[in-house]
Chain A
Amino acid sequence: MKNIKKVALVGNPNTGKSTIFNILTGLNQRIGNFPGVTVDKKSGFTKLADGTSVEVIDLPGTYSLYPKSADETIVFEVLSDKQNSAHPDIVLVVADATSLKRNLLLYTQIADLGLPVILVLNMMDLAKKGNIEIDIDALAKRLNIQVVTLAARKSQGIEELKKAIQFQDKVGLQLETISVEAIAPELIQDISVALKTENPYVALQIAHQHKNLRYLSKAERQQVEEFVSSRDFHSQKSQAAETIARYNYINDVLLDSVKYTTVAVEETISNKIDHYLTHKVWGFVIFIGILFAIFQSIFAWSEYPMTLIETLFVWLEQAGHQFLPSGVLTDLLVDGVLAGLSGVMVFIPQIALLFAFISILEDTGYMARVTFMMDRLMRKVGLNGKSVVPMIGGLACAVPAIMSARTIENWKERMITIMVTPLVSCSARLPIYTLLISLVVPNKMVFGFIQLQGLALMSLYLMSIVSAILVAWAMKFILKSKAKGYFIMELPVYRMPRWSNVGLTMYESVKTFVTEAGKVIIAVSILLWVLASYGPGDKFEKIDAKYKAETYTSKYSEHEIERLKSSEKLENSYAGVLGKSIEPSIKPLGFDWKIGIALITSFAAREVFVGTMATLYSVDGDADQMDSVRDKMANAKNTETGLPVFTVATAFSLMMFYAFAMQCMSTMAVVYRETKHIKWPVIQFVYMLVLAYVASYVTYVILK
């Protein structure tokens, strides 16, 4: 028996492919990249009845092997390149039983590649409800394959699927579906000989896709290009002919195996829901309402766990100072690392909730409706309805959001989407907003049900979306492109969210946040602590000497001297010098040099701001008075004027700066990767910095 190692899941979007993947692999999955590209590769292991374990790989959802986006190219690459590390031994084609005809198109293409295929019919429960009767045996016999039926959301049929994988080698290969050679006989012959492809359909696909296939060498690409032009091959005409031939075959197959009982015309539940959710007026009202509810709940539900985490860290810092031997190392650990971490860990509940809500919107099918409603508006400003997904995703994190812009086929629309997505308020800004809002906006209710702090936060989010749309509109006139964009998209039926999926998303997002952001924050905290604790030259010794003098010891208590001393030390430390050097340029915005330090340290990642504040004010604060960051900042006074540092004007000006400035290395890296040109992240960085400075300045002048 041949040892089966790899199984790939392929199918149309919205067929429940990911659900099947999750059931097969459970928590035993990891997310990596396909070799050489940044397309997420989800893989994991599943155990068969005989104890052997096979690797399951989830390939991007696609309607056909002819790719419309960068992600979809990977499907043909993995399936046709035997050297690819993800090349499977068996392909599971997942098809939605309720629209079998469309789903079988991809099946026939994959079947013709010559890899062993198992057809998985999902959503059998829905098909039965829709009075679609599928004769599984007839279908299996006709195609000469194993057909497994599933209702994945109910976890029905998984054992049968595993058995089918186990016994695949007992079944012969599926029958060819259409006569591929007839489409372009000479060209297929040319390519088969030159590239030694064994399968005619692989050769035909190479003729179509050779420009984008990364496993072909430059010479091979050139050779195929010559064949294509010498044989007078027209890609679109050939594809049209092939598609029609495939559907003829499918019609023939379905004629013998599927019965559609005509039903009384009854509106489906999904249609009834759409009546309201995409209504002329109610559609938008409900959309705004949903966003509002999400932000209110994020604030309300995260309050208790946040206080809990805050208390825990205050306790840890106290215990650290009490029980660890006092010295430089303890100071570094407690005032540097712990203070920095606490400032960020406290936002885990909010980030988890935000990711959970977004995954619910996607999972229920509501996101597709938002896309549908917004397309007209988005098109007016140079975007595509599909730009809504990256923009809403940008509420969580711009990095995956920018990657999700790959579904936009048109270059110009995609570029504009990528350029404006970082303006949308991401979760890294959330800690900064919540912290500053809680400092200057009173925790009051207006009209009895609207929380003032929640309202302030919601306004910031709305502003970010409006600014993204305005910038997009401006870019529409700058970018030049002739290719027309289009919007052909499936509207999936409404479904209940899969709670296990939502849980998994929350878990993954928190894990990534803690490990990725945590690493940066610990490094920055340590660096910052060193910069704040040491200064150039002998300044620190001089300060020590200064406060030993009579004039001070007689006038102030020991406690006050300690405070004055540490404050002056911070000002003369490396960090202080750095902050002071940029102070002249940020003073018009209402920022002092301490905020300047935070701006510098959070240049690479916004979330570092809160950690920096925590570290800076720990160095500054009283050692025996362990307050939370919020209290430390609220008590911060300007050393010259004695007035509080964080006034309404300064706090809002600071929020404006963080709203617009591109302070995220990861985003810039992903923009570079996606656009393949350094000029895009550079343009983005500059225009956002200019916007940030202007917005902060105006805000400060108005509120001062």
Chain B
Amino acid sequence: MKLSQLKIGQVGIIKEFTDLEMSVKLMEMGCLPGECVKLERIAPMGDPIAVSVAGYQLSLRKLEASTIELI
């Protein structure tokens, strides 16, 4: 399952990334394999999304979230 497929309130654990360029940026922001992510909310127009990860809130587009594979 991908991060972009989570429903609001659902929690997942990051398994791996499918895009090298994106993975570097995401890891810098605390998205690491093994880390818990929870989908907090979706922007009014359906995109981007906000997730809780590593103790803070991160917003990212669905396209970017789809490069994160969850366990």
Contact = CB atoms under 8 A, between A and B. Distances in A.
A486 B22 contact: yes
B14 to A, nearest CB: 12
A506 B8 CA distance: 40
B24 A376 contact: no
Contacts of A368: 59
Nearest to A280: B44
Contacts of B55: 98-102, 130, 132
Contact of A385 (B29, B46, B48): B48
B47 A376 contact: yes
B59 A489 contact: yes
Nearest to A283: B44
Interface string A236-258: 11011001100100000000000
A274 B20 contact: no
Contacts of A573: none
Given A101-B55, A373-B45, 17 more contacts: A98-B55, A99-B54, A102-B54, A130-B55, A236-B24, A243-B28, A247-B27, A247-B32, A274-B41, A279-B44, A372-B43, A486-B60, A486-B64, A487-B48, A487-B59, A488-B25, A491-B57
Given A102-B56, A271-B40, A240 B29 contact: no
Contacts of B41: 274-275, 278
Interface in A467-497: 486-493
A99 to B, nearest CB: 4
Contacts of B23: 240
A66 interface: yes
A236 B56 contact: no
Given A101-B55, A240-B20, A491-B58, A284 B64 contact: no
Nearest to A409: B25
A125 interface: no
Nearest to B27: A243
Given A236-B20, A237-B20, A372-B48, A490 B57 contact: yes
Given A99-B55, A236-B24, A239-B24, A490 B48 contact: no
A243 B24 contact: yes
A239 to B, nearest CB: 5
Nearest to B26: A488
Interface in A421-440: none
A377 B57 CA distance: 21
A105 interface: yes
A490 B60 CA distance: 9
Interface of B: 20-30, 32, 40-41, 43-48, 50, 54-61, 64
Nearest to A372: B59
Report the 9 A-B pairs with minimum CB-CB distance, sorted nearest first.
Answer: A102-B30, A99-B55, A376-B45, A491-B57, A99-B56, A280-B44, A64-B28, A243-B27, A488-B60
A629 B46 CA distance: 51
Interface centre among A64, A372, A385 (most CB of B within 10 A): A372
B48 A376 contact: yes
Interface in A58-104: 63-64, 66, 68, 96, 98-102
10 contacts: A99-B30, A236-B24, A274-B41, A278-B43, A372-B43, A375-B48, A376-B45, A376-B46, A487-B59, A489-B58
A488 B44 contact: no
A573 B22 CA distance: 65
B28 A63 contact: yes
Contacts of B32: 244, 247
A132 to B, nearest CB: 8
B68 to A, nearest CB: 11
A211 B27 CA distance: 23
A101 B48 contact: no
Contacts of A247: 27, 32
B29 A278 contact: no
A133 to B, nearest CB: 13
Interface string A269-283: 011001100111101
